[in-house]
Amino acid sequence: MFLKSLTITHGDGAIIRDIRFHSGLNLIVDETPVVSGKETGNNVGKTTVLKLVDFCLGAKAKGIYSDYENKRNEYTLVKEYLIKNKVCIILVLTDDLLHEESQKVCIERNFLPRKDKILRIDGNNKTEDEFEETLTELLFPGHYGSKPTFRQIIAHNIRYKDLSINNTIKNLDHYTRDDEYETLYLFLFGCDFEQGDTKQELRSQISIEEKFKSRLESEQTKSAYETALALLQAEIEEIELKKASLNLNPNFESDLDKLNKIKYQVNLTSSEISRLELRKDLILEAQMEIKSGVSTIDLQQLQQIYQQATSLVTGIQKTFQELHDFHNRMVEAKIQFITQDLPRIDSKLTKQREHLNRLLAEETKLSKTIIQSDSFDVLEQLITELNAKYHTKGEYENTLRQLSSVESKLTELNNKLIKIDDELFSDDFALKIREQVDKFNIHFASVSHELYGEKYALKFDQKIKKGRRLYEFSAFNLNFSTGKKQGEISCFDIAYTLFADEENIPCMHFLLNDKKELMHDNQLLRISNLVNTKGIQFVASILKDKLPKELNKDEYVVLKLSQDDKLFRIEKEVDA
């Protein structure tokens, strides 16, 4: 898909900006006149154009009117203008810029909340979940519900945040895990892995068990509980000896022993009920999270769109109903996988609660009998002490049982994960990755040599992090010199587009780049020649005084901004 147009309108339909994109180099520049020497082309809205494209592809609205480095700081003037004037952003994508009849996707979004929110694709209103699902199915058919996400896939096409401007490979947010990058680049390079979803399910289960284990060990480790239990048992035995030395009638001793055992069983049963309820809550939390992925779209309405698509695009063998049902079956399978223990847990809870009620009734009965004994005053201190010891012992033993159970479950899950990883890290699969990376590197080295006279390449290494194996991808200069990061990033993005087309991997054919004034004139000229030749859409924001004279032409410039004519033209309305 290419960018065809980006239109900014008032709620009444009046057009604020209508930006038309073309193939090759598309520049967004300022034309602020230098009079006093103090005027600059900063803060006129060049980067905001890139943000608006990203917004139409699912980014948060807050990014348009907030400071990226400190999201609590909002540009109140811009925010109030967008909301008060019901500003709407319309992005049109197309399969082919040269043919008007080619397939198009029209995306509309505004900045209003709830019932006034506009979130439309091809004229159809969508919820937040439906919006991403529809975009994914339109641009990456059959991929919704799988990893990586739509936003992760297109991240390298849209570079305006500091992390993406300065990092070639790890260009997502700071919270992205290494295994997520692994999944992303395996997908981008066409290395499909059939058990990828199963691996994610296992990691979800492992995460639940590890959180449960962490809660159990929040105060002490397993070995500390074992040591404390041994010492506690010795103390109980010492108190029991003191109690045995008293001259008690046989019935009193028997009743007292029964009471102690019942109290112990009460504590043990209460702890077991708490453990089962905690486990049930964790499973239900995971179930609710997965249920949010169930598709509840309007089938009748989207069926019409799908039929239109099948009439225009040949080779689609799956019906929309089949895709929809397959997705929901996959979500249902995940739910069944995670909740398979719920019936057993509920059954245990019922039995344990009934058992606890019987124990409490018997405890009350025995307590009344013992209190009536003449020896109660003599034994009161020992009984209180023993009760406390048995209570603590029950807690320790129950915690140790739970820890053993969790460790056993983690071992089982990790063994399953190991089997999947054995396939993922097999020689055959590693060879497949190597073949794909080698194909990509032909383009990467060629593009970088044309732009910089140097050759960049991508490499992947098998690494172990936090006890888990993963593939780590990274770019480097074949001459092993430091190189130029800005150039490396552009070379990578251009090379990937060429590689994806060669391998018939769906991809976006536009690249959005901010702060290209950091790049040398010669490199910018070479990028222009390359993308114009290859038919890649390269959209860049740049300060006019940093623009090479060869590129300062209307055929390259799609938007000119200035301090007197900023993107949203708020200043003109304020003056009026």
Tens digit of pLDDT for each residue in 181-200? 988 999 999 987 667 667 76
What's the pLDDT score for residue 122?
Answer: 95
Whole-number percent of the chain with pLDDT over 90: 36
Q: Based on the number of CB atoms within 10 Å of its own CB, is 493 exposed (0-12), middle (13-18) or buried (19 or more)?
A: buried
Structure tokens at 419: 């089997």
Q: List alpha helices for 292-375, DSSP H.
A: 299-312, 320-339, 342-371
Give 420's pLDDT tier (boundaries 50, 70, 90): confident
Most confident of 159-163, 237-241, 300-304, 500-504: 500-504
Most confident of 34-38, 310-314, 520-524: 520-524
What's the pLDDT score for residue 3?
Answer: 97
How far is the C-alpha of 262 from the C-alpha of 268, rounded, in Å?
10
Helix (H, G, I), strand (E, B) or coil at 373: coil
pLDDT at 220 over 50: yes
Can you give the pTM of this predicted structure? 0.68
Q: Which of 565, 569, 517 lies closest to 542, judged by CA?
A: 517
How far is the C-alpha of 329 from the C-alpha of 265, rounded, in Å?
44
Give 438's pLDDT tier (boundaries 50, 70, 90): very high
Q: Taking a C-beta distance cutoff of 8 angstroms, is the pair 461, 178 a contact?
A: no
Q: Which of 94, 108, 78 lies closest to 13, judged by CA?
A: 108
H or E element that contains 449: helix 427-452
> What integer is the mean pLDDT of 28-37?
66
H or E element that contains 469: strand 468-477
Position 331, amino acid: V
> What integer is the mean pLDDT of 531-555?
88
CA dihedral 516, 517, 521, 527 (to 10 degrees): 10
541's CB contacts (< 8 A; 6+ apart) are 27, 28, 29, 46, 47, 49, 50, 160, 513, 514, 515, 516
User: Is 556 or 375 the better-scoring residue by pLDDT?
Assistant: 556
pLDDT at 501 over 90: yes
DSSP conformational letter for 475: E
User: Is 168 or 43 the better-scoring residue by pLDDT?
Assistant: 168
Q: Based on the number of CB atoms within 10 Å of its own CB, is 220 exposed (0-12), middle (13-18) or buried (19 or more)?
A: middle
Q: Based on the number of CB atoms within 10 Å of its own CB, is 422 exposed (0-12), middle (13-18) or buried (19 or more)?
A: exposed
Is the omega angle on the peptide bond into residue 250 within 30 degrees of 0, that is, cis?
Answer: no
288's CB contacts (< 8 A; 6+ apart) are none
Helix (H, G, I), strand (E, B) or coil at 280: helix
Whole-number percent of the chain with pLDDT over 70: 83
Residue for token digits 């799609």?
Answer: 558
Q: Taking a C-beta distance cutoff of 8 angstroms, is the pair 252, 370 a contact?
A: yes
Q: Taking a C-beta distance cutoff of 8 angstroms, is the pair 491, 476 a contact?
A: no
List of domains in the chain: 1-144+508-576 (3.40.50), 155-192+426-506 (no CATH), 206-424 (no CATH)
Structure tokens at 88: 């709407």
Structure tokens at 534: 């290859």
pLDDT at 275 over 80: yes
Most confident of 9-13, 474-478, 515-519: 9-13
What is the tens place of the pLDDT at every residue in 52-107? 999 999 999 999 988 765 556 788 899 999 999 999 999 999 999 988 899 999 99
From residue 162, alpha-carbon distances to 69, 169, 488 in Å are: 9, 13, 15
Q: Based on the number of CB atoms within 10 Å of its own CB, is 253 exposed (0-12), middle (13-18) or buried (19 or more)?
A: middle
How far is the C-alpha of 323 from the C-alpha of 144, rounded, in Å?
10
User: Is 191 or 315 the better-scoring residue by pLDDT?
Assistant: 191
Give 363's pLDDT tier (boundaries 50, 70, 90): confident
pLDDT at 248 over 60: no
Give ∠ CA 233-239-240 in degrees, rounded to 5.
85
Helix (H, G, I), strand (E, B) or coil at 89: strand
Structure tokens at 6: 């980006």
The whole-chain average pLDDT of the chain stands at 84
H or E element that contains 460: strand 456-465
